[in-house]
Amino acid sequence: MADMLKDKIALVTGAGSGIGRATSLVLAREGATIAVSDIDANGGEETLSLIKYMGGDGMFVHADVSRPADVEAMVDAVVTAYGRLDCAYNNAGIEGYWGGRLHEYPEITFDRLMDINVKGVWLCLKYEIPQLLKQGGGAIVNTASAAGLVGSRRLSVYSASKHAVIGLTKSAALEYAADGIRVNAVCPGIIDTPMMDRLVEGRDDYAAAIPTRQPIGRKGTPDEIAEAVAWLCSDSASLVTGLAMAVDGAFTAQ
């Protein structure tokens, strides 16, 4: 699979840590030039340094995906620097609030989570797709979640946001299939990331039970999600669009 994205220009949001960082490195390994984007400038610059250390190339673009002007400027910066955009991985997202039932969920947290997880993905699609239309096609992958495929106790709003990402993904796939634009989503299960660490902080009993939640018997790694994203971005997945791919150790097969 070496060089399956050779000479491609890829954009990764939420690239400062976790799945976004791992995916940036895998896409670079496969030959892509990576535009790394994150609201966390330190994390984003560190990811870019890792890309360059492994012999890859790219740039960092600071952006808050919930802000239309930031997203428009982010895409413009990539096209200005490289002349095109071949692949986009819309990964930026937050976990919101864990621990309360639906009626206890804070409204301010609901609004922020929807702004980033749903509006952020919609804005990325809104500004990426016109560039792909100009070029005659491309590939987009959105980060949803296993919680976007099933319900999730005490993560109701997060689950709702990820169901929305899958709806956006499928609708965009239908609207732009004839234009050569493929739009898919990855649905990670329980993955060993900083986000997961935040969710289980102070909940030792929950943390200890996590490996049993996935039939595979362990948490996934960011690299395992990254490999799926790389394939979906590649020409090897040329017939794949509108897919919500579960990468979850059979969690949603139960």
Of 82, 89, 158, 176, catalytic = 158
Per DSSP (E only), the strands in the chain are 9-12, 33-38, 58-62, 87-90, 138-143, 181-188, 244-247
Find all residues with CB under 8 Å of 28, minimum gap 6, and list them. 34, 51, 54, 56, 57, 58
Is 176 among the residues known to form the active site? Answer: no
Pairing of strands 9-12, 244-247: unpaired
Q: Which of 92, 86, 23, 19 is nearest to 56 (CA)?
A: 23
From residue 116, give the alpha-carbon distance in Å to each of 113, 172, 185, 187: 5, 18, 16, 17
3-state secondary structure of 245: strand
Q: Which of 162, 19, 158, 146 is nearest to 99 (CA)?
A: 158
Q: Which of 194, 88, 193, 71 is nearest to 137 (CA)?
A: 88
How remote is the C-alpha of 240 from its chain's centroid? 17
Enzyme catalytic residues: 158
